[in-house]
């Protein structure tokens, strides 16, 4: 099956490879089309741009900028910036660099055309940087923009072309949205210091913080999430004391409701109920909204009221509708009410209570919706009730899940089914097929679990299809997670050699970013399995790789030669040695020559092994103690090796090296291995005369 790669991404990947190889690069128009197609697709689907994809896009844009700005479409750059506003799980430096590169490129294009930067540029840049957790840089761009505008206004005044006052006021109000986004960014990053510093900067620029409820709500939400009751309360009370502005939109109202819920949950979590009771009193002073009634029920359940008492409170809610003439405005408990209570039970790790709230809903003729069933699957999986979760999942299939709210939970269900060992293969595949048919996201853990399942059944085509469909849309860390699963499978002693080789083949084909350390471990694993041919293939793939972090080094050669020596595979030794002689990136050193002595000695070629001793002696680095012992070991099994041993010994004596007992033992072994008993006896006498104790030399 062909890889499921977004339009344009494969071409950008190919460009990156050509650049890495210093090969002929594709035409700029082709790269621009790839860049445009990719970001149009990402913008249209609303999918986040992962770090790997951002890196390829950055390389492509850098290449285009080296050519001519005429090669870059401003429309494509705007699509790219819009796509980068979608928050990713793990922002990277590549994301930030790409946003900055797009910003600079748009300005360069406009400057080339003697035009001002477009109005959308600053807004999109600030939102994109905040989404990528680069809020400090977003604020810097905002401040620089304000300074730039001030300079332009100063020039206008000097030229007596001062704009109207209302125009400056409009710009001031527009900037407020940018400042609020920066505050939200620091809130998401959990950066209290810069959050306060931004408030100070806003005051310096003429914004009245005290009269902006949206700002106070952001601060209250920040401190509530960090269990700072005092600060959260201070900012919340400041927010509700602000007069409601006629222009207050649904976003501010939703933020107010969200902060109230967050504070109530904080009070329940910390058992500090005073603020929560105060919020409930404020809510009940007038007729509560439907959302506020839900908060009241949640507060009651969270502060000790049982399910029956909550049921009675719902009756009170219904009775309160008598005060509302318009029946369309009546507040009635619905499935959102039940879901809120079920979430509370889950947060308290009380699945029994969750089941009782769902039963309460049915008693009131409130049928579960998709959200209810997703929650039910979650809490049943939390107690390892996979069968119960499957029952809820079957009910879920009759619900509308077009918003994909169930995807994360269904992924978790698949992993639990694979791990339980009690679910049959067809049942697991039916759940997976549901996600696949909807083109929903498979989490890395799901891909890993299903891959291992297919590998256990020797279904290699299915493994390839699964990986090709999903791994190209994963971030670097997500790819690493799946890759590590395959590496661990190969290294598992219980895995058959055939299955380990199949898994390695998948790794080689689909995980080009597998690093040298992992590849070396796999090579050594095949040596452990006594499959030198497979190990040498792994080594050869490293040797011909194009990535600097994957290509073989001297240490890789050493590991390979030692592995070959342990299996005494002369044919593999010749193959790798010939490859080494053709590898101009390798500068042989003593460590490498030592491994060659070991390998050739083990493969019954000791005379050839001793040629590497000559190379060591002739090198600038010279021999190590280990080199001497290895050379004597080769002399021990080489024809006429005793003569070479004597030659080496004489050199050692001349150099004045310290001759300890281990060295005398190695020399004696080199002599006696060739039957030179007389010389060996003489050596032992000399050693004894020098009071050197030789326990063994055989």
Residue 615 has pLDDT above 90, yes or no: yes
Report the chain's terminal Cα–Cα distance, integer Å.
59
Q: Are the beta carbons of 451 and 466 closer than 8 angstroms?
A: yes
C-alpha distance from residue 12 to each of 29, 428, 610 (Å): 12, 36, 50
The least confident of 542-546, 617-621, 661-665 is 661-665
**Contacts of 149 by beta carbon, 8 Å cutoff, 6+ apart:** 171
Q: The dihedral of CA 37, 38, 43, 45: what is its sign?
A: positive
Looking at residue 300, what is its pLDDT? Answer: 95
Looking at residue 480, what is its pLDDT? Answer: 95
Gap between the Cα atoms of 391 and 381, Å rounded? 12
In DSSP notation, 196-245 reads HHHHHHHHHTT--GGG-HHHHHHHHHHHHHTT-HHHHHHHHHHHHHSPPP
Quick: pLDDT tens for 22-79: 889 999 999 999 999 999 999 999 999 999 999 999 999 999 998 875 668 899 999 9
The least confident of 77-81, 580-584, 605-609, 663-667 is 663-667
Q: Could you tell me what percent of the chain has a pLDDT over 70?
A: 91
Quick: pLDDT tens for 616-628: 999 999 999 999 9
Per-residue pLDDT band for 486 (boundaries 50, 70, 90) equals very high
Q: Are the beta carbons of 99 and 125 closer than 8 angstroms?
A: yes
Helix/strand/coil percent split, the chain, to 5: 75, 0, 25
The mean pLDDT of the chain is 89
C-alpha distance from residue 28 to each of 11, 16, 53, 99, 582 (Å): 12, 13, 19, 20, 35
Instruction: Convert 558-593 into a string of H (helix), E (strand) and C (coil).
Output: HHHHHHHHHHCCHHHHHHHHHHHHHCCCCCCCHHHH
Q: What burial letters (b/e) apply to 156-190, b meaning 16+ CB within 10 Å?
A: eeeeeeeeeeeeeeeeeeebeebbbbbbbbbbeee
Residue 694 has pLDDT above 70, yes or no: no
For the chain, the maximum distance between any two Cα atoms, rounded to a whole number of angstroms, is 121
Residue 587 has pLDDT above 70, yes or no: yes
Looking at residue 224, what is its pLDDT? Answer: 92
Per-residue pLDDT band for 165 (boundaries 50, 70, 90) equals very low
Q: Are the beta carbons of 498 and 487 closer than 8 angstroms?
A: no
Q: Any idea what the Cα angle at residue 182 is, between residues 181 and 184, rounded to 5°?
A: 65
């Amino acid at each position: 099956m062909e890889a499921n790669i977004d339009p344009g991404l494969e071409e950008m990947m190919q460009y990156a490879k050509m650049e890495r190889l210093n090969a002929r690069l594709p035409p700029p128009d082709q790269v621009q089309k790839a860049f445009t197609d990719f970001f149009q697709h990402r913008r249209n689907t609303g999918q986040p741009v992962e770090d790997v994809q951002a890196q390829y896009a950055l390389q492509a844009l850098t290449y285009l900028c080296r050519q001519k700005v005429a090669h870059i479409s401003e429309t494509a750059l705007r699509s790219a910036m819009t796509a980068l506003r979608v928050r990713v799980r793990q922002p990277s430096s590549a994301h930030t660099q790409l946003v900055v590169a797009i910003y600079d490129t748009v300005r360069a294009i406009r400057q080339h055309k003697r035009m001002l930067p477009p109005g959308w540029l600053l807004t999109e840049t600030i939102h994109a940087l905040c989404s990528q957790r680069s809020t400090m840089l977003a604020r810097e761009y905002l401040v620089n923009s304000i300074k730039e505008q001030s300079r332009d206004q100063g020039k206008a005044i000097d030229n007596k072309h001062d704009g109207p006052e209302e125009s400056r006021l409009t710009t001031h109000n527009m900037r407020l949205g940018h400042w609020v986004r920066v505050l939200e960014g620091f809130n998401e990053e959990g950066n209290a210091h810069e959050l306060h510093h931004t408030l100070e900067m806003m005051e310096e620029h003429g914004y009245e913080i005290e009269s902006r409820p949206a700002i106070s709500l952001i601060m209250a939400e920040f401190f509530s999430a960090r269990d700072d009751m005092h600060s959260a309360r201070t900012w919340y009370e400041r927010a509700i004391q602000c007069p409601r502005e006629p222009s207050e939109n649904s976003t501010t109202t939703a933020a107010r409701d969200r902060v109230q819920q967050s504070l109530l949950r904080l009070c329940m979590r910390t058992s500090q109920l005073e603020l929560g009771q105060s919020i409930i009193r404020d809510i009940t002073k007038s007729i509560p909204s439907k959302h506020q009634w839900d908060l009241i029920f949640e507060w009651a359940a969270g502060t000790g009221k049982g399910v029956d008492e909550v049921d009675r409170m719902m009756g009170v809610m219904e009775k309160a509708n008598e005060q509302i003439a318009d029946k369309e405005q009546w507040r009635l408990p619905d499935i959102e009410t039940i879901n809120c209570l079920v979430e509370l039970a889950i947060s308290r790790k009380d699945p029994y209570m969750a089941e009782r709230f769902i039963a309460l809903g049915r008693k009131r003729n409130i049928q579960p919706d998709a959200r209810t069933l997703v929650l039910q699957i979650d809490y049943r999986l939390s107690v390892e009730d996979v069968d119960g979760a499957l029952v809820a999942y079957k009910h879920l299939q009759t619900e509308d899940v077009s918003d994909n709210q169930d995807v994360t939970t269904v992924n978790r269900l698949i992993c639990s089914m694979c791990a339980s060992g009690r679910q049959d293969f067809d049942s697991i595949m039916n759940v997976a097929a549901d996600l696949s048919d909807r083109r929903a996201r498979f989490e890395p853990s799901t891909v890993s679990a299903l891959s291992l399942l297919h590998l256990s059944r020797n279904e290699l085509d299915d493994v390839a299809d699964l990986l090709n469909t999903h791994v190209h849309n994963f971030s670097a860390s997500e790819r690493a997670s799946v890759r590590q699963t395959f590496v661990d499978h190969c290294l598992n002693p219980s895995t058959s050699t055939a299955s380990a080789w199949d898994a390695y083949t998948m790794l080689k084909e689909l995980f080009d970013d597998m690093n040298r350390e992992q590849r070396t471990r796999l090579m050594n694993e095949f040596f452990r399995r006594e499959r030198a041919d497979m190990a040498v293939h792994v080594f050869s793939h490293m040797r011909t790789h194009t990535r600097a972090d994957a290509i073989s080094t001297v240490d890789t050669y050493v590991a390979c030669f030692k592995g070959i020596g342990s299996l005494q595979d002369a044919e593999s030794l010749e193959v790798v040695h010939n490859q080494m002689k053709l590898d101009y990136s390798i500068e042989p050193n003593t460590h490498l020559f030592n491994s060659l002595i070991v390998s050739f000695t083990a493969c019954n070629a000791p005379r050839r092994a001793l040629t590497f001793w000559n190379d060591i002696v002739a090198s600038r680095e010279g021999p190590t103690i280990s080199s001497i012992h290895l050379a004597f070991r080769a002399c021990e099994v080489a024809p006429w090796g005793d003569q070479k041993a004597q030659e080496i010994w004489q050199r050692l004596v001349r150099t004045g090296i310290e001759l300890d007992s281990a060295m005398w033992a190695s020399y004696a072994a080199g002599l006696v291995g060739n039957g030179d008993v007389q010389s060996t006896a003489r050596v032992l006498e000399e050693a004894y005369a020098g009071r050197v104790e030789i326990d063994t030399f055989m």
